[in-house]
Structure 1
Amino acid sequence: MITVLLVYVDDIVLSGNSLFEIQSVKNHLHAKFHIKDLGPLKYFLGLEVARSKTGLILNQRKYCLELLSESGMLDCKPSSTPADPCVKLHANQGTLISDPSPFRRLIGRLLYLTNTRPDIGFAVQQLSQFVSCPREPHMQQAMRILKYLKNAPGSGLFYPSNTPLKIQAFSDYDWATCATTRRSVTGYCVFLGKSLVTWKSKKQSTVSRSSSEAEYRALASLTCELQWLPNLFNDLQISVPVPYSTFCDSQSAI
């Protein structure tokens, strides 16, 4: 049996495979501190949780709608994509924003939204590199993300209850995408069965001199993540078969 305790300041989530053990931990905590039991998990730090016989859904619908409302985009025309592929963002092109605080606050909130919306990860990553000196084109692209969110504010992650516990990992890259530094962007995602458990979209630390090198760096970053995951699975007493299946679309990198 296992019981997992998640603590963030004064918010606590308890989970486990034994209701008796979970209740025992609750009783122990209540004996030491005054706690309030809110029942089955439905809302935690902006994340909404919905359970069914088929699985569990995580989303941030309320958070997303609040973000749209505060930005004045609640009644905007939805967009089918989070970014315009024809637009290349530059650090020194366009009019400077007189007050960068709203842009910085918006990017920070969008970054938190990526906890359940990996589909906006790349677009937000692209904009986050301009928070120190944002310009009008950057704000326009941020509004594009909000229009995309308006399309389906309740989208999130689904974790099916019955799925083989097998790791499948995918990596890719966007070569020399940064117009200023010509550094590439790493992207990867890891599935446990049909459940997405970890993902990343991040600019690489050095310039890759070829597409194969950029792909190799992305694959190396994914491999580091796969080296760490078994430790988490062991702590949670989850048995996952090895080896893991890893995929990339570059024969030269392999």
Structure 2
Amino acid sequence: MIGCKPSTTPMIPGAHLHQDSSTPFDDPSAYRRLIGRLIYLTNTRSDITFCVNQLAQFMACPTSFHHTAAMKVLRYLKATPALGLFFPADSVIQLKAYSDSDWASCLDIRRSVSGYCIYLGQSLVSWKSKKQRTISQSSCEAEYRALALTTCEITWLNYILEDLQYNYSMPTLLYCDNQSAIYLASNLVFHETTKHIEIDCHTIREKCSQA
């Protein structure tokens, strides 16, 4: 791949990988080794976390299409060798989180994907892209489950700061781009259509009330 053409994106925008009927890849072990290296690389390259999460779901029976998608990640890495994590010394110490979800993105079982990025000041300190355990019946529900996952991670980071004896009074900022999920987080009334996510509702509202 040294002489390959660089790519500006790690995967085709809007594409969702699935267990297709294309030709099985002739060397599954090589595919698994490649994905294993890419998973290790996500420790410092958060920009490829989502696509590696997608590719890792097909290590049992990869196809030629999945291998082509993995090669595109390598082409992207060639185009962006200088990207990484930067921790400035003069940033304001405050936790700030961004939560999002990709509703029903798995074409095989229609589960959604939760994702978050959490900053300490200007430094990215935690990130994840993970398929949800249950099927969400609406984009609001998928976004709310992503909020719950992000809230649990924020709580854990706050515990770490307390263990390090770092006290700060600034509240954690949690950003979400779904108005229905934001309204659900601040509404004290449970509706009939939201009883199945009641635990997630209580998790987020408890933390909001403590802020």
The question of a shared fold, defined as TM-score above 0.5 by the shorter chain, is answered with: yes
Matched, 1:186 2:106: no
Aligned with residue 151 of structure 2, among 213, 219, 223? 223
Query: Is 1:90–1:180's contact at 8 Å kept on the other side of the alignment?
Result: yes
Map 1:1-254 to 2 at 5 A.
73-254=1-182
- DSSP-derived class of the 1:108 partner: helix
How far is 1:85 from its partner? 2.1
Higher percent of residues as helix? 2
* Distance (Å, rounded) in 2 between the aligned partners of 1:228 and 1:88: 31
- The higher radius of gyration belongs to 1
Structure 1: how far apart are the matches of 2:104 and 2:149? Answer: 17
Q: Percent identity of the aligned residues?
A: 55
**After the TM superposition, which segments of 4 or more aligned residues of structure 1 sit over 4 Å from their partners?**
none
TM-score where L is the length of structure 2: 0.83
* Structure-2 separation of matches of 1:240 and 1:76: 48
Q: Take 2:40 and 2:83, find their aligned partners in 1: how far apart are those partners?
A: 15
Aligned to 2:59, the other structure's residue is in SS state: coil
Evaluate the alpha carbon distance shift between residue 198 and residue 89 of structure 1 in structure 2; reply closer, same or farther with a 3 A threshold.
same
Question: Kindly tell me: are residues 236 and 142 of structure 1, through their superposed partners in 2, closer, same or farther at Cα, counting changes over 3 Å?
Answer: same
**Aligned amino acid, residue 117 of structure 2:** C
Structure 1 residue 221, shift from structure 2 partner = 0.3
Greater shift in the superposed pair: 83-92 or 108-117: 83-92
- Asked if structure 2 preserves the Cα contact closer than 8 Å seen for 1:165 and 1:241, the reply is no
1:240 and 1:115 map into 2 onto residues whose CA distance is: 27
SS in 1 for 2:85: strand
Q: How many residues align?
A: 182
Q: Is the 8 A contact 2:111 2:132 kept in 1?
A: yes
Alpha-carbon distance, 1:242 to partner:
3.9
Partners of 2:28 and 2:174 lie apart in 1 by 41
Note the C-alpha offset of 1:86.
4.9
SS in 1 for 2:32: helix
Shift of 1:201: 0.5
Write the deviation string for residues 112-162 of structure 1: whole angstroms up to 9, x where unpaired.
Answer: 101110000001001010011111100000000000000021310011010
| Aligned amino acid, residue 124 of structure 2 | L
Cα root mean square deviation, aligned: 1.1
Gapped regions of structure 1 (runs ≥ 5):
1-72
Structure 2 counterpart of 1:153, one-letter code = P
Counterpart AA for 2:49: G
Give the C-alpha shift of residue 208 in structure 1.
0.4
Task: Please tell me whether the aligned partners of residues 94 and 171 of structure 2 are also in contact (alpha carbons under 8 angstroms).
Answer: no
Could you list the runs of 5+ residues in structure 2 that have no partner in the other structure? 183-211
